Amino acid sequence: MAQASGRFKILCVDTKELVFSLSQYFETKHWRLLIQLYINSDLPKKCYVCKTNISPYYFHYKTKIRLGKERLTDIMPICLSCYESCREDKARRNGKKKFERFLLHDFGFNLNNFTMDEKNWLLSIHPHKRSHILSTFYNKRAGQYKPSSNWINQQVKYTCKWIHKIEKELRISLFQDV
């Protein structure tokens, strides 16, 4: 059996098999028994997406909440063309997100991207207004890519850390000069 990787772990209730990935899970005796039970049941055998009776079926999850101890109603049959189309859509969505994150990287906090005037402006922001002003700044800066609030908060956090570091260095140098 493969070593546990990360937090993913499934214990199949019926067969007592322990697996550490979905791909391993789909090869278990438990999964094959579940599919066989579904096929022998009175549940619909039509493709869940296009409603055709085309065989062979692939089975897909409606929910993964009870993984390893699922009910027959937790899975659904899908024909090959719908299955491939679902996989392509998922890959396209994931690819788009990665591309957008790549584009947002150019608008994030990076000292090399700031001019000296911009750095001085960052240091001049009043501490009580800093979060609001920086949130607005990053939202406008990367606005065409519609950054998430999580991304904006991360950039504000990085910027504030840099500002605090510079302020601390300035205080230390002031005390050393005295």
Of 164, 104, 107, nearest to 130 (Cα)?
164
pLDDT along the chain (178 residues), means of 10: 55 78 83 88 84 77 81 86 77 67 75 84 90 90 81 91 88 71
For 75, the domain range is 10-87
Of 114, 152, 116, 113, nearest to 132 (Cα)?
152
Of 33, 41, 88, 79, nearest to 60 (Cα)?
79
- The pLDDT value recorded for residue 156 is 92
Q: State whether 82 and 116 are in the same domain.
A: no
Q: State whether 80 and 125 are in the same domain.
A: no
DSSP letter for 114, please.
S
How many folded domains does the chain comprise?
2
- Supply angle C-alpha 122, 128, 133, rounded to 5: 45
CA distance 50 to 77: 11
Q: Which of 59, 87, 115 is the last residue of a domain?
A: 87
CA 53 to chain centre: 34
- The pLDDT value recorded for residue 132 is 92
Can you tell me which residue has the tokens 């990076």? Answer: 110
CA 121 to chain centre: 34
List 79's β-bridge partners, or say none. Answer: 57
Q: State whether 81 and 121 are in the same domain.
A: no
Give CA separation, 102 vs 61, 90, 96, in Å. 31, 18, 10
Give CA separation, 171 vs 23, 148, 166, 174, in Å. 56, 35, 9, 5
In a domain, 92, yes or no: no
- The pLDDT value recorded for residue 149 is 85
In a domain, 1, yes or no: no
Cβ–Cβ < 8 Å for 92, 67:
no
- Tokens at residue 11, please? 């214990």
Give the dihedral of Cα atoms 3, 20, 90, 81; nearest 10 deg: 110
Q: State whether 75 and 113 are in the same domain.
A: no
- The pLDDT value recorded for residue 94 is 67
